[in-house]
Each structure stands twice: as structure tokens, then as C-alpha cells.
Amino acid sequence: MPLHRHPAAPHDFDFVFGDWTVRHRRLRERLAGCTEWIEFDGEMSTHAVLGGFGNLEDNLLRFPEGEFRAVALRAYDPGRDTWSIWWLDGRFPDRIDVPVVGRFDQGVGAFFAADVFGGVPITVRFLWSQVGPDQLRWEQAFSTDDGATWETNWTMDFHRAGAPPSQTRAQPG
């Protein structure tokens, strides 16, 4: 029996609920001037938690070197009108990534965090958007200059499981 949604719970991430097939594109090397993309498939399933003030995303990623699982946990802070997103990679079960924090504006969610990659301080940006009723897009980008420039290094194009495939495919930006 599903738990009841709190009437004040936000609807920002409702578009991700359900089961999805995923097409990943990831730069072979990040922050190295690389332009070679690696493509692979995956699956994702998301449902509400915390009475709708959060959601849990279960992922199966089929990297060329092997499959693994990962989880994204999202929680909404009504006092700040922000979402926080944490990532737990099943290959590293004792380490949760620093959360990206942000909100939706005109249908696009932008989330940011200060982190370190390869010993270099970076700003991480996630962008979430609904492309259509059965299509979603997520992008990850890194900046080494406080957001003046960005390197998009990972994209995910989601198609609702069981929905007819789209004839168009979004390109990395």
C-alpha cells in the first residue's frame, strides 16, 4: 500500500516517477580537453519518499567495463525552497557524494555543489528537464573557474519504459 503524499509536498520532480530506459553519453576523460564520448545503456526507477518531500532513484548502469548499481536520493527543504541530491555509487558503498543543491525555474532544475575532482577544486552542475511526456534529460558539467565556463561531461536521455521510442535524440550541450 503506497504511503500518502503530504498535501504541501512539492511536485518539481514528479516527472521522473516511474520506470525508464536510459541512454548515457559520458566523456572518456573529464577536465582533460577530451572530446571522445562513450555511450552505454541503463535503467532507472524513481518513486516518492518522505511523504513527497523526497524521492529515491534506483539505477542500473551498463558501463562498457561492467554493470553496477547506484542510487540518487533527493530531499526538499521547504524553508529554503531548495532540493538536495545525493549520489551513492554501488562500487563505493561507503562514500556518498557531496550533495548538489538547487531548484527548478521555468521547468529546468539547476543544482550546484563545490567539490574536488582529481585534486582540482570544481563546481558541479546538474541540469534536469522534461523533454516530453515520456522523455527526460539530465546533464552533468564541471567548472574549474567558478562557473564562468562549463564542461558538460555526462548526459542521460531517459525514455519511459514501454513508451514508443522517440525519433529525435538530444545532443550534448
Domain that holds residue 132: 14-160
pLDDT, one tens digit per residue, over 50-66 is 999 999 999 999 999 99
As a dihedral over the C-alpha atoms of residue 84, residue 85, residue 86, residue 90, rounded to 10 degrees, the angle is 160
What backbone phi and psi angles, to 5 degrees, belong to 119? 80, 0
The answer to whether position 167 is within a domain reads no
**pLDDT tens digits, 120-169:** 999 999 999 999 989 999 999 999 999 999 999 999 999 999 877 664 44
Structural domain contains residue 173: no
Alpha-carbon distance 151 to 37, whole Å?
13
Asked if the structure places residue 172 within a domain, the reply is: no
Single pTM value for the model = 0.90
- Domain of 82, CATH number, reads 2.40.128.20
- Cα–Cα distance measured from residue 49 to residue 2, given in angstroms and rounded to the nearest whole number: 10
Query: Is-contact 122 142, C-beta < 8 A?
Result: yes
**Rounded Cα–Cα distance for residues 129 and 108 (Å):** 5
Is residue 5 assigned to a domain?
no
Within-domain flag for 62: yes
Q: Report yes or no on 155 lying in a domain.
A: yes
In a domain, 100, yes or no: yes
